[in-house]
Structure 1
Amino acid sequence: MIKLCAGMSQDSQHGKWSVSSSEDDDDELPPSGTTSKPRQAMQSNHTSSSVADPVEVKAEPEPSLIVGSQARQQAARNQSNPVKFESPAAGKRRTESSDGAGWALSDSDDDDAEKRKRSESPVRKPASPKRKKAKLETERPPSPHGRVYYIDEPDDFFEASVPHLDDTFRFYLNKVTGLDRKYNSGALHIRDILSPLFGTLKASVQFNYCFDIAWMVEQYPAEFRDRPVLIVHGDKREAKARLLQQAQPFPHVRFCQAKLDIAFGTHHTKMMLLWYDEGFRVIILTSNLIRADWYQKTQGMWMSPLFPRLPEGSSNTAGESPTFFKRDLLEYLAAYRAPELEEWIQRIGEHDLSQTRVYLVGSIPGRYVGPDMERWGHLRLKKLLYEHTRPVPDEDRWAVVGQFSSIGSMGADKSKWLTGEFQRTLGTLGKSSLAPDTPLHLLYPSVEDVRTSLEGYPAGGSLPYSIQTAQKQLWLHSYFHRWQADATGRTHAMPHIKTYMRVSPDFTQLAWFLVTSANLSKAAWGTLEKNNTQVMVRSYELGVLYVPSAFDMKTFTVQKNPFPVSSSSSGFPVPFDLPPTCYSEKDQPWIWNIPYSQAPDTHGNVWVPS
């Protein structure tokens, strides 16, 4: 039996939702240049003092571009032109339609008819909030996160210093501005990753979904800023033209367009290949290459060891790891069928990757049959869990915990994909596992989590769960749990990280852990077709799987308080609190394209989608 949240039901989740027309989510957007709206210009430095950003970085040249979902575009508009909170006049009752206090439910599962009907419906906006000019510094509302939130980070926040790295798991969180310094101990900023302390950079490849080229170039140290960079992206037509235009001032930046032959797929993989005088390194991460993803969001990454060059004359199979990471990485890169990646495939072949202890879990767009079904997506994960994990006592009580920042369409009921397909994969534990209906906890920020975050409501721009998708799958919301990370100091830094794991009944041990770019969607993980004889994957995704056997362990011990980083700890640094806290009857999942105006966020603003 699948464990659901106590006290949560579909009935407890409704009321009225007001609707606006938008794409569903970050990883199920139409391919660039088809039905998606053009990406619009935005200011990368937010000048409104009422939307405080404690980090000062060099302004990007105009025009900067909004990239990604409409939710991110809305967040940028909200920050540059905030809507201030105003209490309702005494004796006047605020109407239900003025915010997202309730949801307008549809009885129909006819996607096309409902979508047309909703897209023609005007967005009803709150009557009371008004856009106001930014207040002066002295007029900022008090922050629940303390006075330091409005103070610029010390200069050494950006100064690369030898970080205290965890050489056991090599799993790191990003630095977050506005937190106590101890919560950034051992965390990494992009400038740290690219610093000379990790190697003398010769060239690099950046795989990602969203790019701000000028900002990205600025993150490289001055001595490496003209070294060749290859951008691997999925943009087409107008979006591709805008991306190329961004790079015109930077002749050392070249491009490789990932093939997206299946509609509604995206190039969502986030990876860096770094080639040094001293060797080679791979970073697999969850952050886009845009400023907004690196300062006040919780992100994660796996950083490889420095891979040394193999002796001249070594065979193609030399330098392999027990996890076959080298073979799988080369197979992943070859699947792009891109001439621009050939030299990088050759370079990786010339290096020793034998110290790698994680397994690669990727998604490549396509339809696969026979043995190829297990090459990509969730069936690849299932194969690895079957072959490399072990059954545990009381296995049916070991819960699966999934955590993500975007949600796709799951279907009319849970059996359509979530439990009938995806949960069977996540429930696999060794060769003798029966893959029972394991308890399933899904972590996704509530409206209150977003409202009280460091960024306030604009943090919801990176959580693009839409009304159109949500109202068709109310059954999903009974699985939801709050985003809480007090132990890591990240409760108020909204997550863009995506993790999946199997945890013991007392939440102290892990059977496996995965950090990935893949959100909770069929596009990312793949879906079975033709009576389960074919799997279809829409998007490029990439992650790394940790299994205890690769570390000579039976299970991983959960590290309860990973910050400040301690060299004596051998536990796995789970980036949120365990056990998860189920949504209360008052909690609602964050929906980006409905207004929230009944309470101000940490900057005194409300959320009014336009």
Structure 2
Amino acid sequence: MSEGHSSISPPPKRQRLSKPPVIDLTSQGSEPAAASGKLALVDLTADDRGLSTDAEPDEDAIEHRPMDCGTPCHDTVKLASPDIDSPQIKHPDPIPTTSFCNTIPSPMQLNMISELPMSGNQDTITLAHILGDPLIKECWLFNYLFDVDFILSQFDSDVRHTVRIKIIHGSWRADDMNGIGIAKAASSYPNIENIKAHMPEAFGTHHSKMIIYFRHDGLARVVITTGNFIERDWRMSQAFWCSPLLPLDETSPCPMMAPVGSGLRFQYDLLSYIRHYGSKLNTLHDQLQSYDFAGVRGALVASVPIKQDLMTVEEQRSTAWGHLGLKSILDTVPLNSSASSAHIVSQISSVASVGQAWLQRTFFTSLNTIKRPVGQHKTHAKHSIIFPTSSEIRTCIGGYNSGASIHMKTQSTANMSQVNFLKPMLCHWASTTNSSVKGQLSTLKPRGTTSRAKAPSQVQASGMAKWLASKPSLSQPSHASSTLPTPNENAPRRAKRGPAAPHIKTYIRFTSEACTSIDWAMVTSANLSTQAWGSAPNPNGEVRICSYEIGVVVWPDLWKDEDDDEIKMVPCFLGNGPSAREIELAEHLEKDSQAGNRVSDTVADANTPTAEKMGHSRKKRYIGWRMPYDLPLVPYAADEMPWCATSKYREPDCLGRTWDR
């Protein structure tokens, strides 16, 4: 409990092999069998909703297209669903993550995808590991899309028909086919209550993705995730943040002015968020007031449909929402690095028509915010945006169908103007082609580039490759060139998640372009849109937010003890805890970066600190942040374009299908 994020302990009940195991959240797990129920969702375009098409809807409102209304793929092949009892599926054995010194596991965890290699699934979990706890008595589910039968199948089979389940979604209009489908499916189960959140904004969506459950033993838990509660989303890359199990404490105070990042402030902001749903969620609000959130470490960043006044936010009289809420959080996060240029990476699954002015002057201004030491001048961070290309979608596990929930428009003149502005910031989701998951890393320069000049990410890769070559335990000599070794599959900077299309949303501020340590990290439901984060302030100082969103921001000092001399958050790739080789590599690259070399091309000398030497002279602790993508980043080549779900693609995908959307 003391680390502020959680692992689920095995319940005090005998487990049967026929059920998904409820295990520690840092352990391996099995993908639950798929539900046979029909998917209760319908895509909502502006025309479907009776809205003016000359306005711009939120991309999240069209993130999932109906699969049964004019199939876009030719020769559609139904993908087999993972089955925990299937002998064809090999599940990874629990391989403990090697760590040393004083390390803390990642507060974010990734979802297990059975088609990925075992190394890519280490320390991953599934929905069944969260919802399969047989002690759950009541569960509140917040999301945009629901497959009721699928989500019910994730609960323990002994209790799934007795757990009180509350489904909260935003399809509230009487003619909303998505809401009609959810209501019809939910009506088949007397233990499911269908709750419609009122959406006052025409182009807003109820996009928050959260689970809150209460157990028979009096404990509760809050889980924030990135996937819709439909089966196909969980064959894409997703993430979870889980609170500790929260104990009852009816005398627990909930002061507004508790420090940002504390459990008490998290509780206050969560209750503020729930109050925006009105009386329908009064029961949930009253229950959560009676719980002790002291073990939580993290700041809640959320959005609600509202016109927010700047003066109110600045006076800290209420919870701030959207980009203003994010800015108020980051204004308390201390800058612990002396690096001259930070690198902020926004990794999202949808980019709406946001406009250059909003992105640079509003959203990036909030992302750039940080609490600097007295006298230190403000510097502008480098920004990168990770978004998949059509090639990455074509070759991913689900092929083109995975791209139905990934959006960036490229067809009109205005769309292309935005793409051209974003192009220098765009980077690949996967650093290698998905067609050779088990192959070596491809060249680390942008694909299609013929220039001999090195991009910044190449400089980093070159230094890393040479250093790895000098460390036999960290490299594979048989795959390395004698003149310029290339990091191979076993290099510690590969997440091995590239074949799973990204529906995850993360924002990270790396301390430098070397991307070796992290100032803060965020996992959220919010994509890159004004509907999600809020508009620029109008002349009256009001910021308009259209959608419900929810996420968590964490930073190293939340785990710092009085006797810690230094605490760092470092990216980790093949497990939730930073390993010795990941920390050693990070320290080496950071040392070169701080020396002004960006990342050195020279091989580390014999005096490079080793894992055994580090941490003894000073009390130093390392927090992991599980990376869903590879480092260094690979920029788009000049001739590459982002995936566009409304374009046509004639080249067959990995399943032999084309895309005629």
Find the counterpart in structure 1 of residue 346 from structure 2: 402
Flag the 1:58–1:578 CA change in 2: closer, same or farther, 3 A: closer
Find the counterpart in structure 2 of residue 262 from structure 1: 201
How far the C-alpha of 1:317 sits from its partner, in A, is 5.4
Asked whether the equivalents of residues 391 and 430 of structure 1 are also in contact (C-alpha less than 8 Å), the reply is no
How far the C-alpha of 1:476 sits from its partner, in A, is 2.0
Mapped partners of 2:295, 2:352: distance in 1: 36
Find the counterpart in structure 2 of residue 275 from structure 1: 214
Alignment counterpart, residue 427 of structure 2, candidates 470, 481, 502: 481
- Equivalences for 1:367-516 in 2 at 5 Å? 367-373=307-313, 375-390=320-335, 392-395=337-340, 397-411=341-355, 414=356, 416-431=357-372, 435-466=378-409, 467-468=411-412, 470-474=415-419, 475-484=421-430, 487-503=494-510, 504-516=512-524
Alignment counterpart, residue 275 of structure 2, candidates 334, 340, 351: 334
Find the counterpart in structure 2 of residue 209 from structure 1: 144
Q: Which amino acid aligns with 2:429?
A: W
Flag the 1:62–1:410 CA change in 2: closer, same or farther, 3 A: closer
Mapped partners of 2:157, 2:81: distance in 1: 29
Mapped partners of 2:630, 2:656: distance in 1: 28
Mapped partners of 1:589, 1:382: distance in 2: 28
Flag the 1:410–1:82 CA change in 2: closer, same or farther, 3 A: closer
Mapped partners of 1:589, 1:298: distance in 2: 18
Confirm or deny that 1:219 pairs with 2:134: no
Mapped partners of 1:134, 1:388: distance in 2: 48
Q: What whole-Å deviation, never above 9, does each CA across 1:534-567 have from its counterpart, x for those lacking one? A: 2111111100001111121866443343338678
Which one is further off, 371-380 or 576-585?
371-380
Mapped partners of 1:418, 1:451: distance in 2: 29
Asked whether the equivalents of residues 457 and 601 of structure 1 are also in contact (C-alpha less than 8 Å), the reply is yes
How far the C-alpha of 1:520 sits from its partner, in A, is 0.5
How far the C-alpha of 1:158 sits from its partner, in A, is 11
SS at match of 1:423: helix
Asked whether the equivalents of residues 401 and 441 of structure 1 are also in contact (C-alpha less than 8 Å), the reply is yes
How far the C-alpha of 1:471 sits from its partner, in A, is 2.7
Asked whether the equivalents of residues 37 and 150 of structure 2 are also in contact (C-alpha less than 8 Å), the reply is no
How far the C-alpha of 1:250 sits from its partner, in A, is 0.9
Find the counterpart in structure 2 of residue 60 from structure 1: 36
How far the C-alpha of 1:217 sits from its partner, in A, is 1.2
Flag the 1:410–1:557 CA change in 2: closer, same or farther, 3 A: same
Find the counterpart in structure 1 of residue 656 from structure 2: 604
How far the C-alpha of 1:372 sits from its partner, in A, is 3.5
Q: What whole-Å deviation, never above 9, does each CA across 1:504-548 have from its counterpart, x for those lacking one? A: 221101110000000011111111232472211111110000111
Flag the 1:150–1:173 CA change in 2: closer, same or farther, 3 A: closer
How far the C-alpha of 1:133 sits from its partner, in A, is 7.9
How far the C-alpha of 1:182 sits from its partner, in A, is 3.0
Alignment counterpart, residue 166 of structure 2, candidates 215, 230, 238: 230
How far the C-alpha of 1:604 sits from its partner, in A, is 1.6
SS at match of 1:506: coil
Asked whether the equivalents of residues 512 and 546 of structure 1 are also in contact (C-alpha less than 8 Å), the reply is yes
Q: Which amino acid aligns with 2:195?
A: C
Flag the 1:334–1:158 CA change in 2: closer, same or farther, 3 A: farther
Confirm or deny that 1:544 pairs with 2:536: no
Asked whether the equivalents of residues 399 and 438 of structure 1 are also in contact (C-alpha less than 8 Å), the reply is yes
Mapped partners of 1:158, 1:203: distance in 2: 33
Q: Which amino acid aligns with 1:254?
A: E
Asked whether the equivalents of residues 523 and 537 of structure 1 are also in contact (C-alpha less than 8 Å), the reply is yes
SS at match of 2:241: strand
Q: What whole-Å deviation, never above 9, does each CA across 1:333-389 have from its counterpart, x for those lacking one? A: 11222x231121122121111011111001111111144446101111111111222
Flag the 1:555–1:524 CA change in 2: closer, same or farther, 3 A: farther
SS at match of 1:273: strand
TM-score by length of 1: 0.73
How far the C-alpha of 1:573 sits from its partner, in A, is 1.6
How far the C-alpha of 1:322 sits from its partner, in A, is 2.5
How far the C-alpha of 1:77 sits from its partner, in A, is 6.4
SS at match of 2:302: strand
Asked whether the equivalents of residues 229 and 254 of structure 1 are also in contact (C-alpha less than 8 Å), the reply is yes
- Equivalences for 1:171-320 in 2 at 5 Å? 171-196=108-133, 200-225=135-160, 226-235=162-171, 236-239=173-176, 240-278=179-217, 279-294=219-234, 296-310=235-249, 313-315=251-253
**Structure 2, unaligned runs of 5 or more:** 1-29, 45-60, 98-102, 315-319, 433-493, 581-621
Confirm or deny that 1:349 pairs with 2:356: no
Find the counterpart in structure 1 of residue 616 from structure 2: none
Confirm or deny that 1:362 pairs with 2:302: yes
Asked whether the equivalents of residues 186 and 565 of structure 1 are also in contact (C-alpha less than 8 Å), the reply is no
Q: Which amino acid aligns with 2:207?
A: H
SS at match of 2:283: helix
How far the C-alpha of 1:257 sits from its partner, in A, is 2.0
Flag the 1:315–1:213 CA change in 2: closer, same or farther, 3 A: same
Mapped partners of 1:291, 1:155: distance in 2: 18
Asked whether the equivalents of residues 105 and 577 of structure 2 are also in contact (C-alpha less than 8 Å), the reply is no
Q: Which amino acid aligns with 1:583?
A: Y
Q: What whole-Å deviation, never above 9, does each CA across 1:306-355 have from its counterpart, x for those lacking one? A: 11112x5555559x872511111111111222x23112112212111101
Alignment counterpart, residue 65 of structure 2, candidates 51, 73, 88: 73
SS at match of 1:606: coil
Find the counterpart in structure 1 of residue 485 from structure 2: none
Q: Which amino acid aligns with 1:607?
A: W
Asked whether the equivalents of residues 76 and 458 of structure 1 are also in contact (C-alpha less than 8 Å), the reply is no
Asked whether the equivalents of residues 167 and 195 of structure 2 are also in contact (C-alpha less than 8 Å), the reply is yes
Asked whether the equivalents of residues 534 and 544 of structure 2 are also in contact (C-alpha less than 8 Å), the reply is yes
Which one is further off, 321-330 or 259-268?
321-330
SS at match of 2:551: strand
SS at match of 2:536: strand
Flag the 1:372–1:230 CA change in 2: closer, same or farther, 3 A: farther
TM-score by length of 2: 0.67
Flag the 1:606–1:355 CA change in 2: closer, same or farther, 3 A: same
Find the counterpart in structure 2 of residue 90 from structure 1: none
Find the counterpart in structure 1 of residue 574 from structure 2: 562
Asked whether the equivalents of residues 483 and 491 of structure 1 are also in contact (C-alpha less than 8 Å), the reply is yes
How far the C-alpha of 1:423 sits from its partner, in A, is 0.7
Which one is further off, 504-513 or 424-433?
424-433
SS at match of 2:332: helix
Mapped partners of 2:303, 2:186: distance in 1: 28
**Structure 1, unaligned runs of 5 or more:** 1-53, 84-131, 138-148
Asked whether the equivalents of residues 34 and 81 of structure 2 are also in contact (C-alpha less than 8 Å), the reply is no
Mapped partners of 1:231, 1:160: distance in 2: 33
